[in-house]
A and B are shown apart, each in its own frame.
Chain A
Amino acid sequence: MTSKLGLLLRLAVIRPRFAIGYLIVITMTLLAIFAPVIAPYSPTEADSASFLQPPSAAHLFGTDNVGMDIFSRSIYAPRIDLTIAILGTLLSAVVGSSIGAVVGFYSSGRGIRVWLSFAIMRAADVLQAFPVFVFAIALVASLGQSIQTVVLAIAFVNAPIYLRLMRSQVLTIRSMRYVEASQVNGLSDMQTIMRHVIPNAMAPVLAQLSVNIGWGILLTAALSFVGAGVRAPTPEWGSMIAMGFQNVVTGQWWPSMFPGAMLAITVFGFSLVGASIEVVADPAKRRQLLSEARERTARTADAPVREG
């Protein structure tokens, strides 16, 4: 674990964009944790005495059309957006990976298990055939508008991704000698899957997590933008953009611009982190990057010293 963390830090030095990604994610996480301390105003109380004020010292990001401070709301928003996206993604990863592992393990041979695996894969095909956003809206519409529903919607639309990812890994791993050895030693299929298959197939899943968290944030914001996400006045970037975008045409750009920028930066940050995890998880990419780093260090060391 420590070596992986060390590797990530080295990668951050070699590829500065990865460092930017970590910085963004850490900043957003800190904002989410310390929002009550940092925010100068309540994020949910209207103040009509100062509606639609442009950015100023009193209101760094200005105010919206009912006088709520956009800076305060923007830094409270990660609490909702990150929580929903992380919970939704984790739920989809746990459920999707577990099913994927079982399906992958039983994907060949004969009997009811194979048919069941086949049926599950076709069901996943059907789920993935729907446009993700439309599918999420339909879920929210049928289950009701709440944070839990948005979490469920994210989990539901992402689960097939993890299912496929884990299945493809397990298809390779199940024929490994250590898997056969565990069964020879008397472990049941489930024990083998839990102890030996899943732990060895997790790397790509972990790499996918960060990317999906970014997409989860986008999906949460998109649902709120169309009014199917969290309820007003909960501070959430998508609903803030929705409430403010009509003002842009009359010159009040700030109610939607700042939450929009925060949203874009956060998703960008998670994508970079995802990319770095992918490098760590992939031995070939990792080796290539480290060798590049070594060569660069060597070139720097061999460079002639200019004498004055």
Chain B
Amino acid sequence: MADKFTRIQLAPTRRQFLKTTAAVGGAAVLSSTGRFGEALAQDANSTLVIAAPATPQGLDIEFDVSLGSIDSLGALYEYMLGYEKMEDPNAPGVLREDTGVHTDKPNNLALRGRLAESWEVAPDGRKATFKLREGVVSNWGNKFSSKDVKWTWDRKFNLKGQGLFQTAVLGLTSPDQIKVEGDYAISFNLDKPNPLLLKQQCNLANPIYDATKCAEVGGTDDPWAVNFLKNDSAGFGPYRIAQLVRGQQAVFEARDDYWDEKPFMKRVIMREVPQSSSRFSLLQGGAVDIAQFLQPRELEALKTQPAAAVDAVNASYMIWLELNAKMAPFDNVDVRRAVNLAIPRDEIIRTIYYGYADEQKAPMPYIYPMADESFFNYGYDLAKAKELLDKAGAKNLATSLSYNAGDPTQEPIALLIQTALKQIGIELTLEKLPAGVFYENVTKRAKPMIFYLDSPWTPDPGYSTYLYFNSESYVNYSNYDNKNVDQMIKDGLATLDDNVRKEKYTEVQKTLMDEAPWGFIAYPKYTLARKANLKGFTYYTSNNLRFQDFTRG
């Protein structure tokens, strides 16, 4: 235990990073000189070096969903279920989750067992029983059993962090609704049927913890191991964390005792490189295997590099404007519609995203089942926008658009929107906010118009619309309030009949598009800039990497 903490809190190892990258570069030279060279080359071959914008700020999903954290989760933890994988139809060589509706499969879903070996949903949809996999051990050597699953969900109820949303969306009101049915069996018991019951078991936000280890380290002072899980992991995933120095690097080591296929990459180094241009240069120079979150023009520049490759897949990302329905001038639906008609989406996609995005035409990710783009009626039309403003009696409008200084795409998008809105008589003041202040303003709903970039992790229309448009949701940052929509969202979450659900969510989408609580902008693609010989990239709707997917070809 002490050794482990010592390793985690060790001083920065810039030297180690340099050693590793030097090993990657020098391995080819050394490999011809004997066994030592072969060993180094082998080592470099099975080491994945990632240039990331940030290292994990915390490792506990309950309190931290930053970029580095979500990339760590899929490596450190295991889940009850996962989606089957399929070839991405638009990106050769890339796999993605098969999240579609499959009427030929149980529960209409293409799922595969992970920690749950098999599962059964009662005909009334109110109970799901999972038979758990035996012989699985955690990174601390503790055997997996039903008490780990029970402890994991009890923790959500007790900590009241983001897990509370997970319980609420399933309709769970008490920890007693999750019942241990034996050492390797557990059941979820709901008051109403819920179509998300199985899907949520795949959600990145629901990793299963090693309850034995957590109880051991937490004791009575910290029964839910909050302090421990912030810096370390206790899970059943393929990696353990070897080092975490915030702001510098995180190192992950593959586990030899992992229950499933052993990862190809034995060691993963996630190095913090805040500037996108620096990450670009590192990949260009061959010092890293992956450069995360590059700017679109950098991705374009990499296309001409033979040693690098860029994958771009349709993703669950959405970028939109929160048009605050409780603040003037966006308390008027016609003003919201007019803004939507004046957003130059094709210009934004061409000049800012270089084509690495599509127009947003639905109030949920277009890759999700039941997403319907047919109600989009906001093609660029300034004349119609002016008409709507006249109809609303809105003349010489002046308002502000707040954007995140930490996202380099938002300022140029804001400038294009400002120029467009000026043409319909709306004077827009641009307000650049530091990242922390920006998110504070988003959650406070204190601005009339503010950018937001997000993705609902569960590929489901009920989950997505509940998150953003239910008047009681904490993520409903546009203050949208329509009781009919609330009811339809809830109805759709209380039936397993996909035909009924489709009917409900089609109506929800139609209403939302008509009432325009958002300024719909774009669906940015998930992009991965990597070395050409790195294979195995798989896209997940939670927009994170899983290191175990990667190999070298």
Contact = CB atoms under 8 A, between A and B. Distances in A.
B418 A233 contact: yes
B83 interface: no
Given A46-B419, A48-B344, A231-B432, A249 B412 contact: no
A67 B351 contact: yes
Given A65-B412, A248-B277, A232 B298 contact: no
A250 B280 contact: yes
A51 B351 contact: yes
B430 A232 contact: yes
B350 interface: yes
A168 interface: no
A304 interface: no
A249 B277 contact: yes
Interface residues of A, number: 24
Contacts, number: 68
A184 to B, nearest CB: 59
Contact of A243 (B277, B297, B411, B431): B411
A66 B432 contact: no
Nearest to A252: B297
B415 interface: yes
Given A46-B415, A233-B415, A246-B277, A227 B297 contact: no
Contacts of A51: 351
Contacts of A66: 351-352, 412, 415-416
B301 interface: yes
Contacts of B352: 65-66
A68 B419 CA distance: 11
Among A232, A248, A249, find the residue whose CB has the most chain B CB atoms closer than 10 A: A249
Contacts of B487: none
B429 interface: yes
B533 interface: no
Interface string B278-301: 001100000000000001011011
Given A66-B351, A66-B412, A46 B277 contact: no
A232 B277 contact: no
Contacts of A67: 351
A231 B430 CA distance: 7
Contacts of B281: 249
Contacts of A250: 277, 280, 297-298, 300-301
Interface in B30-62: none
B414 interface: yes
A65 B351 contact: yes
Nearest to B432: A227
A250 B280 CA distance: 9
Contacts of A248: 277
Nearest to B411: A232
Contact of B276 (A45, A233, A246): A246
Contact of B351 (A48, A227, A232, A245): A48
Nearest to A227: B405
B434 interface: yes
Contacts of B295: 246
A227 B430 contact: no
B347 interface: yes
B395 interface: no
A67 B352 CA distance: 11
A66 B408 CA distance: 12
Interface string A224-258: 00010001110000000001011111111000000
B434 to A, nearest CB: 7
Nearest to B276: A246
A227 B300 CA distance: 27
Contact of B415 (A52, A232, A245): A232
Contacts of B102: none
Given A45-B422, A248-B277, A250-B297, A232 B416 contact: no
A48 B416 contact: yes
A251 B415 CA distance: 23
Interface string B396-419: 000000000100100110111011
Nearest to B344: A48
Nearest to B414: A232
A231 B429 contact: yes
A145 interface: yes
B301 A251 contact: yes
A130 to B, nearest CB: 20
A162 B433 CA distance: 34
A122 B419 CA distance: 50
A193 B396 CA distance: 52
Nearest to B422: A45
A104 B277 CA distance: 52
B418 A46 contact: yes
Given A45-B422, A231-B431, 15 more contacts: A47-B419, A65-B351, A66-B351, A66-B352, A66-B415, A67-B351, A145-B432, A227-B405, A232-B430, A233-B430, A249-B277, A249-B281, A250-B280, A250-B297, A250-B300
16 contacts: A48-B416, A51-B351, A65-B351, A145-B432, A227-B405, A227-B432, A227-B434, A231-B431, A232-B414, A232-B430, A245-B277, A246-B277, A246-B408, A249-B281, A250-B277, A250-B298
Q: A-B pairs with the 9 shortest C-beta distances? A: A48-B347, A249-B277, A250-B301, A46-B419, A51-B351, A48-B351, A227-B405, A66-B415, A66-B412
